[in-house]
């Protein structure tokens, strides 16, 4: 029984070490669909899989004018929200209006009136 206890501890330790190594393999996993979505061509992917050498970064997709405009609008909305949150921390309504106005001027935006939304 005295010999069984240390052997049991060694066996359990080896089991956990082997199990941990099995969960974290050293080899990189490669996602072909992810590479295609990122803009790599099939030829670049095949060359990478064949040689294991890194390929040049894909050329970024050009944004359409609609995407650029949507991004600009979402950034504008975000800045209005952030300025409103800052203004909400003010003690009085007048102070809140002044804080919001100053914050928006920093971003080059105008305060919106009731009918501007």
Q: Model pTM?
A: 0.43
Helix spans in the chain (H) = 4-23, 32-38, 42-51, 65-88, 93-106
Tell me the pLDDT tens digit for each residue of 65-117. Answer: 888 888 888 888 899 999 989 999 999 999 998 999 999 999 888 887 666 55
Tell me the pLDDT tens digit for each residue of 6-50. Answer: 666 676 776 666 665 555 454 456 677 777 777 777 777 777 777
pLDDT at 57: 64
pLDDT at 55: 65
Count the neighbouring beta carbons within 10 Å of the beta carbon of residue 78.
Answer: 11
pLDDT at 102: 92
């Amino acid at each position: 029984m005295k010999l069984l206890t240390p052997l049991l501890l060694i066996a359990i330790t080896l089991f956990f070490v082997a199990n941990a190594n099995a969960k974290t393999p050293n080899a990189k996993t490669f996602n072909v669909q992810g590479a295609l979505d990122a803009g790599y061509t099939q030829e670049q992917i095949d060359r990478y899989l064949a040689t294991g050498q890194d390929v040049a970064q894909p050329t970024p997709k050009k944004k359409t004018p609609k995407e650029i405009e949507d991004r600009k609008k979402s950034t504008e909305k975000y800045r209005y929200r952030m300025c409103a949150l800052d203004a909400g921390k003010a003690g009085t309504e007048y102070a809140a209006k002044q804080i919001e106005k100053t914050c928006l001027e920093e971003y080059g935006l105008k305060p919106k009136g009731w009918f501007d939304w």
